Amino acid sequence: MSDLSQEEKNLLGQWAQNFKISLSQSQVHLLGIYLAELLRWNKKINLTGLSSRQGIIKDLLLDSLIPAFFLPNEGRLLDVGSGAGFPAIPLKICRPGLKAHLLESRTKRVNFLRQVLRLTRLPEIEVIRGRIEKDGGILDPQGYHAITARAFAHLPKALAYCAPHLASGGMIVSFQGSQRDKTIKESTSVIEELNLNIHKTISYALPGKVSQRHIVIFKKS
């Protein structure tokens, strides 16, 4: 099944509306193609750690869409440790004008991501095999206007790796759980060293969940 059910479309539409995201029918269809291929591959290799369709939609897809409103319509996006493509592929679908690089080191996941790009025919998006800590030289030398890092590394390390690749005025989008305050406190010295500041924090709870999650957007001072 390459399309979302009406119930799933309603959930997606309401979620998008809550976070000021505009989704066309074409974009919803592309999200359905991505989800179907992810579920197909997930039966063979462990891409997400989640096996149920509803779990992937609620815990990963909806979560990934939230930063879309805060991203520029154009520019360069880097997703570090892309894995199964969250959040980069949903964000690219929402912001088609962004030129996206998906950085992933594991061969099976690289192959999956490239297959998704073939099926969705998204323009200006490329999967790069490598690690940011070792292969920074293969990334865009102009830097990126937005860098996403979801479950990539503990925050201090993630910021240290990502900040050198920011373009002027660029942002780092970090996904944090209920321990956000503790994690930010542990990262204070790194944040100061890198001349970063917290530009925006978005707090929310995923459908059916009680615990709060947070997206923290960092910008250069």
- DSSP string computed for 86-140: TTHHHHHHH-TTEEEEEEE--HHHHHHHHHHHHHH--SSEEEEES-TTT-GGGS-
21 domain residue, yes or no: no
Query: Residue 82 and residue 57: Cα distance in Å, rounded?
Result: 17
- Tell me whether residue 53 is in a domain: no
- Within a domain: residue 32? no
Q: Does the residue 6 lie in any domain?
A: no
**Number of domains forming the structure of the chain:** 1
42 domain-assigned: no
Query: Is 178 inside any structural domain?
Result: yes
Element containing residue 145 per DSSP (H, E) = strand 144-149
User: Tens-digit pLDDT profile for the chain (221 aa)?
Assistant: 468 999 999 999 999 999 999 999 999 999 999 999 999 999 999 999 888 999 999 999 999 999 999 999 999 999 999 999 999 999 999 999 999 999 999 999 999 999 999 999 999 999 999 999 999 899 999 999 999 998 888 999 999 999 999 999 999 999 999 999 999 999 999 999 999 999 999 999 999 889 999 999 999 87
Quote the DSSP letter at residue 74: S
Phi, psi of 125 (to 5 degrees): -145, 135
CATH number at residue 174: 3.40.50.150
Range of the domain at 185: 66-220
User: Which pLDDT does position 2 carry in this prediction?
Assistant: 61
**Domain contains 171:** yes
pLDDT given at position 51: 82
